[in-house]
Amino acid sequence: MREAASCCTACNLYIHATQTVFGDGSPDADLFFVGEQPGDYEDETGSPFAGAGGRYLEICLREAGIPRERVYLTNVVKHFKWEPRGSRRVQAKPHMTEILACAPWLMAELRAVRPKIIVCLGATAAKAVLGKDFRVTQSRGTFVDVPGYGPTFATLHPSSVLRITGEMEKRRERERFINDLRRVVSIVDDYGKAAVA
């Protein structure tokens, strides 16, 4: 799948991207995290969530008591969409046509991993999976059973927590984010216990 995706030309994003950035993690992961798209650093390295937001996510996962082997990380869009800003490449929001072009890859990853829960990180991922009317700001932390996807949960993208400038607000949002992660894993663990019983 990864090899096939590396040749994807379903939309024009591949033209200016360095490479396809496919998902990464345990093929037996029960938690499937999906974000928007790779950033500049991910585009260079070929690994999802390898930049500052990904490192922050790793720290929060550890604090929430979630081992990395329980997690699969991917994005709804597999190529870095950017615009030039001086000598820098600045991330640009993907269009729905680009999200739809990548949808078969996301579905293929879900079929291969078969997670217990999908966690949408941020608005773009949430809208791609839960529908264009879903608002993370209004419905964050609610579980939705999505046909074709299964139990799905939406929260902030870790990068958005990093962008908060006020220290007190940043601490508050960090704690909320970690609590979201704890809630997700407790639901998965409770589901496993119920299945065994």
Separation of CA 170 from chain center: 20
User: In the structure encoding, which two tokens stand for residue 22, read together?
Assistant: 């496919």
pLDDT of residue 188: 85
Q: DSSP string covering 23-66, please?
A: -EE-TT-SEEEEES---HHHHHH--TT-SHHHHHHHHHHHHTT-
Contacts of 117 (CB under 8 A, 6+ apart): 30, 31, 32, 143, 150, 151, 152, 153, 184, 187, 188
Give mean pLDDT, residues 38-50: 96
pLDDT of residue 192: 54
Residue range 184-196, pLDDT digits in tens: 999 888 765 544 3
Q: Torsions phi, psi of 34, nearest 5?
A: -130, 125
Contacts of 28 (CB under 8 A, 6+ apart): 113
Residue range 137-191, pLDDT digits in tens: 999 988 998 888 889 999 999 999 999 999 999 999 999 999 999 999 998 887 6
Instruction: Decide if 108 contacts 2 (C-beta within 8 A).
Output: no
**What is the homologous superfamily of the domain 2-191 according to CATH?**
Uracil-DNA glycosylase-like domain (3.40.470.10)
> If pLDDT is split at 50, 70 and 90, which confidence band does 197 have?
very low
Work out the mean pLDDT of the chain and round it to a whole number: 93
Q: Is the pLDDT of residue 78 over 70?
A: yes
d(CA 174, CA 176): 5
Contacts of 107 (CB under 8 A, 6+ apart): 148
Residue range 95-127, pLDDT digits in tens: 999 999 999 999 999 999 999 999 999 999 999
pLDDT of residue 194: 44
The radius of gyration computed from the CA coordinates of the chain, to the nearest angstrom, equals 16
